[in-house]
């Protein structure tokens, strides 16, 4: 026996669909845990129809150095792809600082590497960098919870994030400073 009103519900559902008819989707997740007062572990993962991959980086907080790195490829499109997992060890010893992603590219990607291994490692490094900046400001909890105003936080973090994006750009600081001078009547 058909359910009464189901036809109207199906019609409404069809018209309420978002204009999003994805034929393929990829999810990348990154999480950081603190192993000890001087060590963090960053895990990044990639999941789509053809891949299930994970990268773990262990980082020394004081010197921002990658002290261990592991890769697990649970599912890859071709068996040969799994051979690239061993390349992750090449990032051990690198310091998380400006230019690291450029240095990692030839170690992980290219004709003998894996673009997704590189991509996951970059994401892990970016998240690690963010957490390390929180530690460097001296108030890691503030970095996560943001009790300060935007202006206070930007001023405090600017030295760590200089020119990384609009709020921390030198040009933006100059615009803010000129606005403050105008408010005071300075020229």
pLDDT digits (tens, 9 = 90+) for 22-65: 788 999 999 999 999 999 999 999 999 999 999 999 999 999 99
CA distances from 85 to 7, 78, 104, 110, 136 (A): 51, 13, 14, 14, 32
Alpha-carbon distance values, 133 to 52, 60, 128, 173 (Å):
30, 13, 9, 20
How many other CB atoms are found less than 10 A from the CB of residue 108? 24
The fraction of the chain above a pLDDT of 70, given in percent, is: 77
Are 56 and 43 a contacting pair, CB within 8 Å? yes
Radius of gyration of the chain (CA): 23
Please write the tens of the pLDDT for every residue from 115-140: 999 999 999 999 999 888 877 766 66
Q: What is the pLDDT of residues 93-109, one digit of tens each?
A: 999 998 999 999 999 99
Q: State the first-to-last Cα distance of the chain, in angstroms, to the nearest integer.
A: 82
pLDDT of 14 over the 70 cut: no
Which letter does DSSP use for residue 54 in this model?
A: E
Cα 81 to Cα 169: distance, rounded to the nearest angstrom: 40
Strands 65-75, 39-47: pairing kind: unpaired
Give the domains, in start order, of the chain with CATH numbers.
27-136 (3.30.390), 148-184 (no CATH)
């Amino acid at each position: 026996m058909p359910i009464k009103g189901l036809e109207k519900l199906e019609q409404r559902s069809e018209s309420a669909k978002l204009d999003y008819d994805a034929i393929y989707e990829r999810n990348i997740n990154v999480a950081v845990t603190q192993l000890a007062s001087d060590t963090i572990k960053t895990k990044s993962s990639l999941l789509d129809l053809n891949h299930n991959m994970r990268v773990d980086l262990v980082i020394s907080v004081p010197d921002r150095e990658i002290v261990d790195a592991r890769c697990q490829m649970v599912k890859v499109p071709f068996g040969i792809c799994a051979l690239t997992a061993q390349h992750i060890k090449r990032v051990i010893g690198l310091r998380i600082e400006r230019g690291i992603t450029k240095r990692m590219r030839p170690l992980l990607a290219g004709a003998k590497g894996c673009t997704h291994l590189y991509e996951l490692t970059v994401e892990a490094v970016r998240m690690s960098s963010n957490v390390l900046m929180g530690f460097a400001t001296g108030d890691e909890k503030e970095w996560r919870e943001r009790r300060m105003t935007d202006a206070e936080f930007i001023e405090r973090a600017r030295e760590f994030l200089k020119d990384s994006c609009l709020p921390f750009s030198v040009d933006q600081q100059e615009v803010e400073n000129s606005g403050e001078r105008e408010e005071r009547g300075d020229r």
